[in-house]
Amino acid sequence: MQTDIAVIGGSASGVAAAIQAARMGCRVHILEEGPWVGGMLSAAGVSAIDGNHELPSGLWGEFRSRLREHYGGPGALETGWVSNTQFNPRTAENILRSMLEAEPGIQLHTGCSIDSMEQVSEQGRIRIASIQFTGSDGQSCLLRPETLILADEFGDSVEMAGLEWHGGLEGRTAYGESIGPEHPLKHPQDLTWTATLEAKGELEFSHTSPSSVLSGEFAGLLGNPEISWERFLNYGKLPGKYYMLNWPIAGNDLYGDYFSPGARPDMFRRAREKTLRLIKLINSQLISGEIVPAEHIYPLTETNDYTPGLALIPYIRESKRIYGLQTLALNDILEPDSSPLTTFAIASGDYPLDHHRSQDPDDPEIRFPRIPPFSLPYGSLIPRDGVNILAAEKSVSVSGLVNGCTRLQPVVMQAGQAAGAAAALCVRQNTTPAQINVRELQSELLDGGVYLMPSHNLAPDDNRFKKIQKVLLTGGGILRRESVNWANRGYVDNPDSLFKKEIPWNSLFL
């Protein structure tokens, strides 16, 4: 088969990439090993959005609008205290699949496995000429794409493509970051096997002090000072009688080297068993009612061990990351106005630095600084050793520290959308990702309602939005940034004066 673009992984990022490229007139094939699309939004059961509540950027904003329409408004999604947007994972999968099916240029292959990639060397860099994969029917297929987007959950496609990759924490000197371990720590962040739970009957918890029942692996589960069991459960309250069980620190996080495929089966088994033990503990504290893994949410497959309510795949917070033409590091986020990467922005986020490493015996216990809202540069999507390849999802080129704020659902959806737009421009112009005009890419993304700069007080439906975003990107104005707890803010002061400015929207190349 010939195609314009191949997307490896039907993740949140992969879905966004495919939709954007198809809307720009391209033929796209998505290769996903599982039965569902959506990645952490659906198959991993992380059905509570982290960050970007006031930055409904691009396809992330479109997805949220469809959730609100399905449930009956914003308030219907504000059910738990961890997020302003919470939903049933199956609903997310249905919406994302319908968005894919609405684009005639997309062909989705689920239940397939990637067997190999044909690599051709061009001046010491890698061009992917073809992808051999086995479909869900057992048939072997050969796909020849012009451009390839790597968007799978673990970043295995990065390694399969023959690209250099890294993971974990690089150490302070690699990118001139002032915090982090002195020497590299190659361990990935802890993963979680999320469960979607359902309440049977009215739940009433025992009033016995939690300290008397919490010990061993779940000691400290309810924090210090301790919160109530009701507060604990309502953390991930979903619409209806459902709950998301994805509790940090002393909950169902689990450490292990999931970068190694050989280590995954045993690790995944242990992660599922830990989540089931936590569910059992919760029920031991109930006087009335029962909380059980919800049936009819996920299809039962070998990946979730035939246990209803357990997610199809684990929630991983870190993937194999490319070495990109640009790498977003801590200093670029702390001092964005002096960073040369800011003018290359293709996505934005407002989540703080947040790592899950408490289960790692070598946890460096980093004290993370407060950060302002940030932008991801285009060069982070382009591997320095690739020709016709783009990376998305959590495989983009950022430092290990910065991965803590770029790994969230809205940011990876924007990264995917940008990768899809860049790939479409490559097809349209018969060129490579490193050779396209970044200003042209940014214009396409602005047309799609993407916040390239995190302007919380200036939205895409404002007729000044595109012009002022371009002013900010070219250094003609300053975005006032603030660090505000778990959701940071960026403000455009005097937008009318910026709107009147002439902007040198000239060509920009990497």
Instruction: Write out pLDDT tens, residues 354-413.
Output: 999 999 999 999 999 999 999 999 999 999 999 999 999 999 999 999 999 999 999 999
SS3 category, 315: strand
- Band (305; pLDDT cuts 50, 70, 90): low
Which pLDDT does position 485 carry in this prediction? 85
**d(Cα 278, Cα 218) in Å, to the nearest integer?**
8
CATH of the domain at 121: 3.50.50.60
Is residue 312, in this structure, part of any structural domain at all? no
Q: Is the dihedral of CA 320, 322, 328, 329 positive or negative?
A: positive
Helix and strand element counts for the chain (H, E): 12, 18
**d(Cα 313, Cα 38) in Å, to the nearest integer?**
11
**Mean predicted confidence (pLDDT) in 53-61:** 98
Clarify whether residues 158 and 225 are in a common domain. no
Q: Is the dihedral of CA 90, 96, 98, 100 positive or negative?
A: negative
Neighbouring C-beta atoms of residue 411, cutoff 10 Å: 29
Tokens of 300: 């039962």
- Band (208; pLDDT cuts 50, 70, 90): confident
Clarify whether residues 395 and 423 are in a common domain. yes
Decide if 172 contacts 180 (C-beta within 8 A): yes
DSSP-assigned states of every residue in 144-161 = EEEEEEE--SS-HHHHHT
- Band (249; pLDDT cuts 50, 70, 90): confident
Is residue 311, in this structure, part of any structural domain at all? no
User: Residue 315 forms beta bridges with which residues?
Assistant: 192
Last residue in a domain, options 304, 334, 361: 304
Decide if 399 contacts 174 (C-beta within 8 A): yes
pLDDT over threshold 80, residue 43: yes
**d(Cα 329, Cα 398) in Å, to the nearest integer?**
6
pLDDT over threshold 80, residue 94: yes
Last residue in a domain, options 304, 332, 356: 304
What whole-number percentage of the chain has pLDDT above 70? Answer: 99
Number of domains forming the structure of the chain: 2
Clarify whether residues 157 and 199 are in a common domain. no
Which pLDDT does position 318 carry in this prediction? 97
**Range of the structural domain that residue 220 is part of:** 191-304
Is residue 143, in this structure, part of any structural domain at all? yes
Backbone angles phi, psi at 77, to 5 degrees: -100, -10
- Band (306; pLDDT cuts 50, 70, 90): low
**Mean predicted confidence (pLDDT) in 145-164:** 98
| Element holding 446 (H helix, E strand) | helix 438-447
Q: Is the dihedral of CA 116, 154, 350, 327 positive or negative?
A: negative
Instruction: Give the global pTM.
Output: 0.98
Is residue 510, in this structure, part of any structural domain at all? no
Last residue in a domain, options 304, 326, 345: 304
Residue for token digits 């999604």? Answer: 77
**d(Cα 223, Cα 336) in Å, to the nearest integer?**
35
pLDDT in tens, 82-91: 999 999 999 9
Is residue 178, in this structure, part of any structural domain at all? no
CA 211 to chain centre: 35
pLDDT over threshold 90, residue 431: yes
**Mean predicted confidence (pLDDT) in 221-227:** 91
**d(Cα 185, Cα 91) in Å, to the nearest integer?**
38
Let me know if 52 is exposed, middle or buried by CB neighbors in 10 A (0-12, 13-18, 19+).
buried
Clarify whether residues 220 and 333 are in a common domain. no
Length of the chain: 510
Clarify whether residues 278 and 256 are in a common domain. yes
